[in-house]
Amino acid sequence: MAENKTAKTQTKKPAKKPVTKKVRQTGKAKVGKPKKGLNRRTALITGASAGIGHDYASLLAEQGFDLVITARRKDRLQSLADRLEASYGVNIHIFPEDLSDPRAPTRLVENITKEGLSIDFLVNNAGYTVPGNFDMAKWQSHADMLQTMLTAPTELCHLIGIGMAERGYGRIVNMASVAGLLPGAPGGTLYGPVKSYLIKFSQALSAEYHDKGIHVQALCPGFVLSEFHDIAGNRDQMNRLPKFMWLTGPDVCRKSYESVMENKGPIVVNGLFYKILGTAVKILPSNLATKLLSLHNRNAKPLPRDIRDPASQTDKAL
Ligand SMILES: NC(=O)c1ccc[n+]([C@@H]2O[C@H](COP(=O)([O-])OP(=O)(O)OC[C@H]3O[C@@H](n4cnc5c(N)ncnc54)[C@H](OP(=O)(O)O)[C@@H]3O)[C@@H](O)[C@H]2O)c1
């Protein structure tokens, strides 16, 4: 299990201009502008060791947020923290966690509290897919994915949202996907359903929190250049897709940040192509859309580590 350790304690705080109440509450600070609207607010980003989480952490540091970053790979988190602290003078805490461990969210929040911090901006980003059809992969792989991408973000919203509501300020970004807006498709079977859940959950939370100063967003990018498809083992196949289907992490994060600060949403879809796709599936009869999406299985091949072992108690046929 990953050890919990604070990377650096807060030694000094860079001088900041005083913040007007109006800017604080409306969160109108624009990306790239001075950090006057965010006087030492703290953000928690899960899955910050790579890809979109790494880019979100960089953007929030640039905006003047102190950060708590988590993922399993501590070395990656440490080098990100070193770089961002040197570039932006913000304070960064590292709490490595494997979010497939059901105790991880509580442990993470306990460690944050022990440091005397409270979270103002939560980015529930950590995620991956389990390639292969549903019954090709062992149950434990599915269970770990559900814990990491469904239960953990939900629990973090619960643990952290209560404090945000008490303080009357919060920003929550739940990393969903365009996949969550589309009908279920073969291969990586639970990925779309998990992302659909995050979208509905964010909508409900956004409605509940609308008068509590908390803005909630379900972020729905299409394909983003990151390590995601290397981990899924389908990089070669994905490289055949046309360029217009690819988004970049910094663009995705910037759009998300601007939208959540201005309380646009709760659903934010990145990229014109994916906006059209999202609209098209609403217009098409859902059974037709399901058939069309089932024509191709991009995630057909399970990873060796996920392959079901018919001899194991949990994986054998009944
Ligand atoms: N790339 C895309 O095309 C795309 C499109 C739409 C949505 N998304 C979503 O965007 C999010 C980030 O994906 P990405 O594209 O940035 O992929 P990525 O580059 O592979 O990054 C995934 C991040 O999640 C972390 N993570 C994975 N399993 C974890 C676990 N058990 N515990 C803690 N952290 C874990 C990884 O860190 P460690 O390995 O160090 O733990 C890494 O920091 C995911 O939720 C994904 O579903 C991606």
Tens digit of each residue's pLDDT, the chain (318 residues): 333 434 333 333 433 333 333 323 333 334 444 344 446 899 999 999 999 999 999 999 999 999 999 999 999 999 999 999 999 999 999 999 999 999 999 999 999 999 999 999 999 999 999 999 999 999 999 999 999 999 999 999 999 999 999 999 999 999 999 999 999 999 999 999 999 999 999 999 999 999 999 999 999 999 999 999 999 998 988 999 999 999 999 999 999 999 999 999 899 999 999 999 999 999 998 899 888 888 877 788 899 999 998 888 788 888
Please name the residue whose Cα sits nearest to atom 44 of ligand 1: 127
Coil vs helix vs strand at 62: helix
- Mapped onto helix, strand or coil, the DSSP state of residue 28 is coil
Strand partners, 123: 45, 173
Tell whether 10 is covered by a domain: no
Q: Is 98 in the pocket of ligand 1 (CB under 6 A)?
A: yes
Residue pair 300/132 in contact by the 8 Å Cβ criterion: yes
Closest CA to 159 of 124, 129, 204: 124
223 in ligand 1 pocket by Cβ < 6 Å?
A: yes
49 lies in a domain? Answer: yes
Tell me, yes or no, whether 31 lies in a domain: no
Give me the CATH number covering residue 83.
3.40.50.720
Question: Would you say the CB of residue 270 lies under 6 angstroms from ligand 1?
Answer: no
- Residue 6, in any domain of the structure: no
Q: How many domains does the chain have?
A: 1
Identity of the residue numbered 171: R
CA atoms within 13 A on the CB side of 150: 17
**Atom nearest to 195 CA in ligand 1:** 47
**Residue 13 in domain:** no
27 within some domain: no
- What residues are annotated to the active site? 191
Please check whether residue 5 lies inside any domain of the structure.
Answer: no
User: What residue numbers bound the domain in which 116 lies?
Assistant: 36-306
Helices 51-62 + 249-261 axis angle, to 10: 50
CA distances, 40 to each of 18, 60, 117, 268, 308 (Å): 11, 11, 11, 26, 48
| Nearest CA residue ID for atom 6, ligand 1 | 177
> Quick check: is 317 in a domain?
no
Distance 51 CA to ligand 1 centre (A): 7
Residue count of the chain:
318
